[in-house]
Structures are given as C-alpha cells and as structure tokens.
Structure 1
Amino acid sequence: MEDERERVDVMLVSQTYGADLKGRQSVRTTFKLSPRCIDALSLLAGQLGIKQKSIVDHLVDDTQALHALARDAVQSDGTTDDRVAKTYVISRRTLENLERVSKRFQTPRDTLVESSIERIMPLLREEKRKHEQRKQLQERLHLLLHASQELLEQADAVLDADDPVVDHVVLMARTVQNGCREVGQIIERGRRLEDF
C-alpha cells in the first residue's frame, strides 16, 4: 500500500516538475527585427549584466502585456527591408506563448517581439541618463584620487614609514584608486549607450 502511494507521489511530482522543466528548456528561434530593437536588447542586457534570453523571456512571458500588444499592433505592410534576421535563445514556454498569442490575434511573431522590446526603451533612456551622471561623478572621483595621492606623499614626507597613520593613508589611497578603476569599467561598459 505504501509502495503504491509512493509511486503515485513520484508520478505526480514527475508530471508537475517535468512539464515545468520542459518549459524552461532553451530553444533557438529567429526573428526579423529592426536594428534599433536588436541594439536595444543587446545594450540593456550588457548594461544590466543579464542574458538577452532573460529579457526576452520576461517580456514575452507577460501574457497580459502580450495580448495588449497584439490587439494594438500595427500590421506592417509586408516590407521587411529594414529588418534583420536574428537568432535568439529563448525558453520553450516563451516560444509557445508567443506562437499561441500570434495565432489567436493573427499578429506576426516578429511584430509581437518588436513591440515587446519597445517596452524597454524607457529603461534604456534612464540608463543613458545615469551614464551621463556617472561620467560627471567620475570627474570628481579623479579629483579625489589626486588628493589622496597628494595626502599619501605628504604623510610619507612628514611621518616615518612604519607609522600607523601612513598605513591607513596607504589603505585609503588604494581604496580610492580601486574604486576609480571599477567606476571607470562601469562607465566604459555604458559607452555604447551614448550613441543610442
């Protein structure tokens, strides 16, 4: 009796988690998108440090938003001259959701994906604004770095090398230097936003 119950539990768990895991499988699919949308997706993924797959999955898994986009979608006139075929890895569930909504509303998948990606444009504008502010702060950080180096030179000149204050000033100067380098890397990563 207990073996039978255990076998039924295993089957239920297998069915529940099996379907969920199968939906998370990655698949490759190609969309024809505008270069602007391709760039936007790439930029946001790079800026946030996440995979493009995660962004597409998040945008397309929002069924209510996808339905609204499909209802409001402006059908293209059939020309795809400005479109570029781009292959993405997305979850099987995302692809199934996309195809289901596409059929239901008779809206091309490419149009739905393009409209979904358009939803991230305000995020990119916000990231671009932050990037400009980071560049301004970087200028002030360079002044702080220069001041910490001057302070270190002064401490070195007036105190003995084994003085504990010199050790602390060295640590502070090193911390400022490391912070400036890391901020510089963040700003460098955001340089692509400047032309978007």
Structure 2
Amino acid sequence: MRDEREQVELRLVAHASSVELRGRQSVRTTFKLPPRCIDALSLLAGQLGIKQKSIVDHLVDDVQTLHALAQEAVQRQDADGHRVAKTYVISRRTLESLEQVSKRFQAPRDALIESSIERIIPLLREEKRKHEQRKQLRDRLQRLLLDSQELLKKADEVLEDDDPVAGHVAHMVRMVESGCAEVEQIIEKGKRLEDF
C-alpha cells in the first residue's frame, strides 16, 4: 500500500514538473504592432542586456494588470495606425495567458501586447534622460583625461623615471583612460535611444 502511494506521489510530482517545464517552453508567435512598440521592446532589451522574450514574459505574467489592460486594448486596436507583423519568441505560458485573456475580454492578442509594451515607454524615456546625462558627464571626463595626461607630461619633465609619484600619476592616468573607454562603450550602446 505504501509503495503504491509513493509511486502515485512520484507520478504526480513528475507530471507537475512536466507541466512546469512545458509552460517555460519557447514558442514563436506573430503580432501586428505599431513600429513604436517594436522599437521600444528592442531598445529596452538592448539597454538592459536581456532578451525580448524575458520582457514580454514579464509584462504578460502579471495577469491582473493584463485584465486591466484588456478594456484599454480593445479601444487602442480600433484606433488608426500602421502596424507591422513581427514574430517573437515567448514562453508557452505567456501565449496561453494572452489567449485566455483575449477570449475572456474579447480583446485581440495584438492589442493586449501593444498595451503591455506601452507600459515600458516611461522606462525608455527615463533611460533616454540618463543617456543625455551620461553624455554630459563624458564631456567632463574627457577634459579630466586631457588634464591628467598633461599632468603626466609635467611629472615626466620634473621627476625622474623611478620616482614613486611619477609612477602613481601614470597609474592614475591609465585608470582615467580605462574609465573613459568604458563610459564611451555605455554611451555607444545607448545611442539608439537618441532617436526614440
């Protein structure tokens, strides 16, 4: 009797694990979205260094919010506007949630995704603001780099090669150069935000 019960429990655990894994399984699906939404999703994924799938899964994972967006989504879909078919990889669970809410509230899936993506627009505006501030700081860092390089030249002129201060100044200049290069990479990564 006990062995039978343990086997049943093991089968239930295995089934639950199987269902969980199937929910995480990736599927491809196509949505018709405004170019602004397509760009927003791509930009945010690039800025945060995560996959678009993760963002979509996260946005749709909050079923209560999805329900609240369903009514807005119906109105949004009726509005005029150019839409582009775009295929995304999302989790099976996300697709199932979208389809369930779509049926329940008679809201097109495309409209639900569009409304969900619209929620990230403020994040992109904030990232764009930070990008502009980073560019201003980069300009000041460039001046710091030039000043430190001049200081190194002066140290080389007045101090001997083995002087510890000359070594420290050279080390500081290398650190400033390295920091400026890293900041430049971050700013280069954010350039796509400038046109958003």
Shared fold (TM-score greater than 0.5)? yes
Distance in 1 between residues matched to 2:114 and 2:79, nearest whole Å: 15
Distance in 1 between residues matched to 2:25 and 2:166, nearest whole Å: 56
Alignment match, 2:77: 76
Alignment match, 2:91: 91
Alignment match, 2:144: 144
Matches within 5 A, 1:90-169: 90-169=90-169
Structure 2 residue matching 1:76: 3-state secondary structure: helix
Using the TM superposition, give the Cα deviation of residue 15 of structure 1 relative to its aligned residue in structure 2, in angstroms: 2.1
Using the TM superposition, give the Cα deviation of residue 166 of structure 1 relative to its aligned residue in structure 2, in angstroms: 2.1
Alignment match, 1:56: 56
Using the TM superposition, give the Cα deviation of residue 5 of structure 1 relative to its aligned residue in structure 2, in angstroms: 5.6
Distance in 2 between residues matched to 1:32 and 1:194, nearest whole Å: 25
- Identify unmatched segments of 5+ residues in structure 2: none
Using the TM superposition, give the Cα deviation of residue 9 of structure 1 relative to its aligned residue in structure 2, in angstroms: 4.4
Q: Does 1:24 align with 2:58?
A: no
- Superposed CA offset, 1:65-122 (max 9, x none): 100000232053497x611000000001000000000000010000000010000010
Using the TM superposition, give the Cα deviation of residue 133 of structure 1 relative to its aligned residue in structure 2, in angstroms: 0.5
Superposed CA RMSD: 1.8
Q: Does 1:41 align with 2:41?
A: yes
Distance in 1 between residues matched to 2:122 and 2:45, nearest whole Å: 14
TM-score in terms of structure 1 length: 0.92
Distance in 1 between residues matched to 2:168 and 2:2, nearest whole Å: 67
Using the TM superposition, give the Cα deviation of residue 163 of structure 1 relative to its aligned residue in structure 2, in angstroms: 2.3
Asked whether the 8 Å contact 2:72–2:115 carries over to 1, the reply is no
Structure 1 stretches of 4+ moved >6 Å:
none
- Superposed CA offset, 1:125-167 (max 9, x none): 1011101100110111001111111121122222222222222
**Residues matched between the structures, number:** 195
Change (3 A) 1:10 1:158: farther
TM-score in terms of structure 2 length: 0.92
Using the TM superposition, give the Cα deviation of residue 184 of structure 1 relative to its aligned residue in structure 2, in angstroms: 0.7
Q: How many percent identity over aligned positions?
A: 72
Alignment match, 2:15: 15
Change (3 A) 1:7 1:169: farther
